[in-house]
Structure 1
Amino acid sequence: MEHYWLINASIPVSLLRNVPDAWLQAANAEHLVRLHVQIQGETIAAVTPILPTDGLAQIDLRGGQLWPCFVDLHTHLDKGHIWPRAMNPDGTFGQAIATVQTDAQAHWRAEDLYRRMDFGLQCSYAHGTQAIRTHLDSWGEQATVSWAVFQQLRAEWADRITLQAVSLVSLDKYAGVEGEMLADLVATAGGILGGVAYPHPDLAAQIDRLLALASERGLDLDFHVDETEDTAAIALSLVAKAALRHHFSGQIVCGHCCSLAMQPPAQVQATIADVQAAGIGIVSLPQCNLYLQGRLPGQTPRWRGVTLIHELAQAGIPVALASDNCRDPFHAFGDHDVLEVFSQAVKIAHLDHPIAAWCPSVTAIPAQLMGLAHRGQIGVGLPADLIGFKGRGFSELLARSQHDRLVIRAGKRIATALPDYSVLDDLMA
């Protein structure tokens, strides 16, 4: 059984469970506190500011930061890594949709999905992610294929990454018998019901239908909403009002919510109040939305594409940050590294005064929204799933890639070598 100390760790106070007042007073200007963490077996056995002298083995972090492992709340593993064969011709949202549809019809059989999704999981694991929620395109017969692959991977990765899946279709697909069949498939697979709330004259009724299907089956909900700068896009408001009207008891997460940043203040305040009252969690995808939003050929983008992260959090709404798409027509870049997501979000959305307050957005908050107790925090009795970085302060942490990070899972140091892109070459031919 593993039994050792991680000494001289700088830990963001926001990531500690049950923080004594003395530790708060000892924290530096960046809200980091120097502590020593004892690992025994798969668990954190002690956290103390007193340097241990008990003779146990020690790993000296030399003031580098120590975080709990990441929780990535919003991904698209089924789309991942198709860029070499499915490049977005102009980088726009519309072309992203069309290009993915063409690629899916031509290639998304079980082996293709399995290998690309597994590749993404290997990257995530090496970077220090412990839990992932992925959306799965679930139209027609594709649903059966994709959900079967997901369930296989969930079982194979169960000892390393907790996997959840959400059905992804436009909300009109939930009408009639087909909608019930898809909801039943999701329920049987232990998934989350979801979809894209595109503007539609009957959008409110479509949302009501989805809430009813979820309530009947005891499912949580996860929506793509308002991924546009169009101020007329109000799906977030409609979801919140529907949740209140139906007294929905499950957890709802809404992703993107971009148009909220473009709407008049009074409308924003009303929507945020409804979201808070409905207990909805928000996930912002800053890298993907920066890539897609405000894109016009030959023109410099005028806005950053992110939702009102600060205002939502100030209202007491849980706000998470996540990866979204990786090397596909919706986002040509990314490597399933949640530290990169966090680093870019800090710069894009000015999450830097103080940065430490936002660390839970990629750890404890998404864990809470996924229903994963005891994840995303550091404390006695919690799982020893940790990441050690050489970066001491936040400027050091976010200035370099931290590719040489220490990843500890269930108390043991893991290999962090990333899979080579060439293993997917035959799929890209």
Structure 2
Amino acid sequence: MTFSNSRTYRLSNARIHSSLAPGLSLAVDGDGFALVDIAVADGRIARIGAAANVAGGFDLKGRIVLPCFVDCHTHIDKGHIWPRQPNPDGSFMGALAATGTDRAARWSAEDVARRMDFSLRTAYAHGTKAMRTHLDSVVPQEEISWPVFEAMRERWRGRIELQAACLFGIEEVRDRGWFAGMARRVAGAHGVLGAVTYMMPDLDELLDVMFRAASEHGLDLDFHADETDDVGAVSLRRIAAAALRHRFEGKILVGHCCSLARQPDEEVLGTLDEVAKAGIAVVSLPMCNLYLQDRRHDATTPRWRGVTLLHEMKARGIPVSVASDNVRDPFYAYGDLDMLEVYRMATRILHFDHPVADWPMAVAATPAGVMRLDGAGVLAVGGPADFIIFKGRNWTELLSRPESDRIVVRDGRPIDAALPDYSELDDLMG
């Protein structure tokens, strides 16, 4: 299909999903798609209406059009270090050790900046318009990575809306002086306050310190929690209790929550009730968790998928998303920051089908809400003409092929969607 560079045009016979087109009142098929015409003028969506079979414009012949993606949990400071620092055994502990070794030896400002920029160019070409990255913020890395992030955010402004959350083990909060400085740094960078939680005797006290700091500085919170198969890992419930205890009014996103799927029903139901009451959102990272969780080294096959209970959460009104997480680093050897791949894998692993319902929101509108991004993740009249045109005309077509020839449209115009070549990073891999 030849696409116009005109500022005003019409796409006819486009297939859009009703969950990603708020206010749309048209007939939909069994998978939630409506056949529409989309008028674009001066970089914005001027009209969405029922397909009228009027001559002119560009006939998409039923191809799917989705809003640009929102990727709410990534680690682009770690990205692409696999060639120089692979995970020795594919385990979680192997990933921690390998990443720590590489960070201490090689994460200069130039190294982090170049790998971040490579990751952002990749995500942009695939159709992502907003991203939250966690930044390893242990001493002395926070003095390097946060200034790099702030510069990168300015460089990418208008192409990818970039957010950052600090990342360290919550035990670091015991050093109150260091943590107070970290909270000020995050606030100064308009970031998000985050940590990895574990079960420890003083977890509630440490969470209280974090919640008080978030309230003091007006920060949202983002936790890694229970990334394990240990049924005793219940820090998600402790986070929910802290949120209720502090009557926290900011946004809270919790990632992973793998152990929840291993716990007894009574524990699960109690946790989900608390999470819903606290207004917490949850993001599952299906590809990374499938890679790390239940990895065995005794010639046996893994027996669970490593993902959390998104269906049960969604049934209680808990906002749920899926995201990329790690890419080509010791925590996940693969990936390309392609949210279509994430959704494809999530559909297969988590059963986002039969019915499809409004699961497409998990890679667009829902994470946009968590990240406070008005107008992102939806197709709306008056909103920006930021969308992706695929070849697929239904879910089985869309999710069966890589769709590497997709057309990414930003501000009404197709972008150059060429992916950066891995060889650009060769000199960093020695």
Report the TM-score range of the alignment, normalised by the length of the smaller protein: over 0.9
Say yes or no: does 1:410 pair with 2:411.
yes
**1:78 paired residue number:** 77
Q: For 2:51 and 2:363, how far apart are their aligned partners in 1?
A: 29
For residues 174-221 of structure 1, what are the alpha-carbon distances to aligned partners after superposition, in whole Å with 9 as ceiling and x for unaligned?
A: 231000001100000110000100221111111111101111101000
Letter of the aligned partner of 1:89 in structure 2? Answer: P
Distance in 1 (CA, whole Å) between partners of 2:54 and 2:40 is 15
Which residue type is aligned with residue 82 of structure 1? I
Identical aligned pairs, as a percentage?
51
Give the counterpart of 2:22 among 9, 14, 17: 17
Aligned residue identity for 1:390: K
* Cross-structure match for 1:61: 60
CA distance in 2, matches of 1:135, 1:321: 15
One-letter code aligned to 1:359: P
Q: Which moved more, 1:44-53 or 1:419-428?
A: 44-53
**Aligned AA (2:167):** L
Q: Which residue of 2 aligns with 1:424?
A: 425
Range moving further from structure 2, 126-135 or 193-202: 193-202
Q: Offset at 1:52?
A: 6.6
Q: Which amino acid aligns with 2:283?
A: V
Aligned to 1:193: 193
Matched ranges for 1:15-414 at <5 A? 15-20=20-25, 23=26, 26-51=27-52, 53=54, 58-175=57-174, 176-297=176-297, 298-414=299-415
Residues 186/322 of structure 1: CA separation in 2 closer, same or farther (3 Å cut): same
TM-score by length of structure 2 reads 0.97
- How many residue pairs match? The answer is 423
The separation in 2 between residues aligned to 1:75 and 1:202, in whole angstroms, is 28
SS in 2 for 1:387: strand
SS in 2 for 1:399: coil
User: Partners in 1 of 2:112 and 2:390 — Cα distance?
Assistant: 32
Structure 2: 5+ residue runs without aligned partners?
1-5
For residue 344 of structure 1, give the secondary structure of its aligned residue in structure 2: helix
| CA displacement at 1:163 relative to structure 2 | 0.3
Which structure 1 residue ranges, 5 or more long, are not aligned? Answer: none
Is contact 1:288-1:325 (8 Å) kept?
Answer: yes
Q: Deviations over 1:54-96 (max 9, x none)?
A: 85xx222221101000000000000000000011010000000
Residue 67 of structure 2 contacts residue 379 of structure 2 at CA under 8 Å; is this kept in 1?
yes
Please report the TM-score for the alignment, with normalisation by the length of structure 1.
0.97
User: Letter of the aligned partner of 1:174 in structure 2?
Assistant: V
Instruction: Report the equivalent of 2:3.
Output: none
Q: What is the alpha-carbon distance in structure 2 between the residues aligned to residue 15 and residue 174 of structure 1?
A: 40
SS of match in other structure, 1:84: coil
Q: Which structure 1 residue ranges, 4+ long, deviate > 2 Å from structure 2?
A: 50-55
Q: Deviations over 1:323-351 (max 9, x none)?
A: 00000000000001000000000000111
Taking the aligned partners of 1:44 and 1:35, their CA distance within structure 2 comes to: 13
1:33 and 1:278 map into 2 onto residues whose CA distance is 35
For 1:219 and 1:121, the matched residues in 2 are separated by 24
Contact 2:35 2:51 (C-alpha < 8 Å) held by counterparts: no
CA contact (8 A) 1:40 1:411 kept: yes
Structure-1 residue corresponding to 2:10: 5
